[in-house]
Amino acid sequence: MSWLFGLIGTVFGFLLSTLFNVWKLRRDEFTARTDELCKCIGDASGQAVEYWSQDYDDLDKPRVVEAKLTAAQALVDGAYGTWRPWVRSEDGVRADEAIAILLDALTGGQFSEAGRKASHEQVAKASRANPACIAAIHTAHRNTIPLRPLFDQYVTNRNRERT
């Protein structure tokens, strides 16, 4: 009879460890997607700042930079498309808004026009959209952690000043 209890314990332990490891594998994959998306956003924003901070008198000179910026924008859009289904709908709406502002900042304005002067507005827009977008993405990522509201309440209570 004791071998039956041992077998039941072994099966239960196996199922519990398998469940935990599958959850951890999915969690690690989502964290990697989040990091990849944030890196793509940072790279695209840097290229946008470089593009919008320079004057271009003719259309031939900026073609390479525009192609890189368009490719970076497509990469951000694609990475976001694979990341978005993993988050809650409320956080996804905030991330959608932040991504829309970022994508407008990357190639909005006088993109690909001859005789375009440097646009300090677009530089500022791209610079502001980058951290706002990354913060929205990290917030959405953090909100997928199980029991997070419970831990947040614990931290809030621990850090509250005693009166």
- pLDDT-derived band of residue 31, with 50, 70 and 90 as boundaries? very high
Domain assignment of residue 21, yes or no: no
Q: How far is CA 75 from the centre of its chain?
A: 12
- On the question of pLDDT at 163 being above 60, the answer is no
Q: How far apart are CA 7 and CA 93, in angstroms?
A: 48
In the prediction, which pLDDT does 15 show? 94
Give the residue ranges of DSSP H helices in 53-119. Answer: 63-83, 89-107
The answer to the question of residue 38 being in a domain is no
Count of the separate structural domains present in the chain: 1
Rounded to whole angstroms, the Cα distance separating 163 from 160 reads: 9
The predicted-structure confidence for 112-136, as pLDDT tens digits, reads as follows: 777 778 888 888 898 899 999 999 9
> Within a 10 A sphere around the Cβ of 48, how many other Cβ atoms?
27
Residue 153 in any domain: the answer is no
pTM higher than 0.85: no
- Over the stretch 58-117, which tens digit does the pLDDT of each residue have? 767 778 888 888 999 999 999 999 999 989 888 889 999 999 999 988 887 677 777 778
93 is written with which tokens?
């709406």
Domain assignment present for residue 163? The answer is no
Nearest to 131 by CA among 83, 96, 92, 98: 98
Q: Does some domain include residue 27?
A: no
The burial of 163, by beta-carbon neighbours within 10 Å (0-12 exposed, 13-18 middle, 19 or more buried), is given as exposed
Asked if residue 135 is part of any domain, the answer here is yes
Q: What percent of the chain has pLDDT over 70?
A: 98
Residue numbers of the domain that contains 122: 44-144
The structure tokens 């309440």 sit at: 153
Region 10-21 average pLDDT:
92
* Nearest-angstrom CA–CA distance, 150 and 155: 9
